[in-house]
Structure 1
């Protein structure tokens, strides 16, 4: 729910979602066009500055949200530098070692080695993924889920998919509230006084939450059946008075960003 709280607190909350989605789509296109890791990282930094300065996202919260994707990218960078090859032999190990790549045998006839020759491709992949991630964060940190659902409905996304998103979002909120209440109750009863007691309390809390979520999901289904709910869920969609102006500014800014990346690509190729 951290993303939703930050999105509702953002001053860009009142900008048309179509404009923000268009700008972020242009940023993603620019990330794919970027030909060098330097250009992709520069684009990622630019989007981060826009999120912090324009959307006014607190930098501490932004770093906390960014921790998970950055950790995943770092782990992916390490794993992509490792290759596994069959038919390991001592001669091939010596050849690999002399080629500045370390080979390590396994007990199953395979060998894995660190391949520094893959570093340029890995850096390009990771830097491009970082730019795409910052573009997506700019959208979700400035646009609540309700506005995104309204935009997707106008884009003719299947109603069933939107209903599943709403139900999952609602159940996530219910689960988070139940988890917080249960954790507070257990701590007030000294349920985390020691390691064994903490593990027991955590197991009890998880089992109770599983039963509660199942019961609430069944109640939600029963309520929908009682109202003969066979159609899609309906929502009030806000109207954006300056939506056309927002879209025009977003399109111009996005095209300018793509043009800068293209200019850097052509200049590098020349």
Structure 2
């Protein structure tokens, strides 16, 4: 939900999704082609500054959203520091440090490219772009349903927490643990009931397997795509020049 909140508050909310996707794809390709740490660091800085300064994504939100994948990346890099010797015994080794450095920087660059796209583009705009790219309708509907169920789950959780708090369900640690257990046991039932209500509402509106949204209009789409292509060419030039 923090991602969607940042996307709707972004300065680039009304920029054509095709332009933002083009810039992100160029960043991913450039990150894959770049070899040296300096080139990868330059790409990371360019992608992050674009999101933070140009799109005006709040730094706190950017960090909060990036922390989970960064934690996974850190754990992956730490596991690469352990390796077997000639006797098959595992121990701490620094032989993989160059590989770890390259992998970490490349992953950070690709993460920055993806964050720049999702933190500036609301999901309905992304769905419209994917539909234009001939993405299967079943996949798009599954994305919408999963997206909607996140809000249903959050609403059910907040309402249950409010009700338990009003009944002094969290007045001490013992009661808090008991209330949390009861809440976890009831969440599946509540979400199931609300999902059934959503299905009933969709059937009442003659749902035929395809969810439609009002199309957004982008008067400056061509201009924005040209700017995105030029910026992407700069990143690709950095990566290709570094590779050569």
Q: 1:172 aligns with which of 135, 150, 154?
A: 150
Q: Which residue of 1 aligns with 2:102?
A: 124
Q: Which residue of 2 aligns with 1:153?
A: 131
Say what the alpha-carbon RMSD is for the aligned residues: 1.7
Aligned residue pairs, count? 244
Please give the alpha-carbon distance, in whole angstroms, between the structure 2 residues aligned to 1:225 and 1:177. 22
Query: Secondary structure at the residue paired with 1:113?
Result: strand
Q: Which residue of 2 aligns with 1:12?
A: 12
1:64 is the counterpart of 2:64: yes
- Give the TM-score normalised by the residue count of structure 1: 0.85
Q: Counterparts in 2 of 1:99-114, with a 5 A limit?
A: 111-114=89-92
How far apart are 1:188 and its partner, in Å? 3.3
1:257 is the counterpart of 2:235: yes
Please give the alpha-carbon distance, in whole angstroms, between the structure 1 residues aligned to 2:32 and 2:41. 12
Which consecutive aligned stretches of 4+ in structure 1 deviate over 3 angstroms post-superposition? Answer: 222-228
Q: 2:226 aligns with which of 238, 248, 258?
A: 248
Please give the alpha-carbon distance, in whole angstroms, between the structure 2 residues aligned to 1:40 and 1:61. 23
Please give the alpha-carbon distance, in whole angstroms, between the structure 2 residues aligned to 1:231 and 1:41. 45
1:3 is the counterpart of 2:3: yes
Please give the alpha-carbon distance, in whole angstroms, between the structure 1 residues aligned to 2:176 and 2:41. 43
Query: Secondary structure at the residue paired with 2:183?
Result: helix
Unaligned runs of 5+ in 1: 93-109
Unaligned runs of 5+ in 2: none
Q: Which residue of 2 aligns with 1:135?
A: 113
- Please tell me whether Structure 1 or Structure 2 has the larger radius of gyration of its CA atoms: 1
1:115 is the counterpart of 2:93: yes
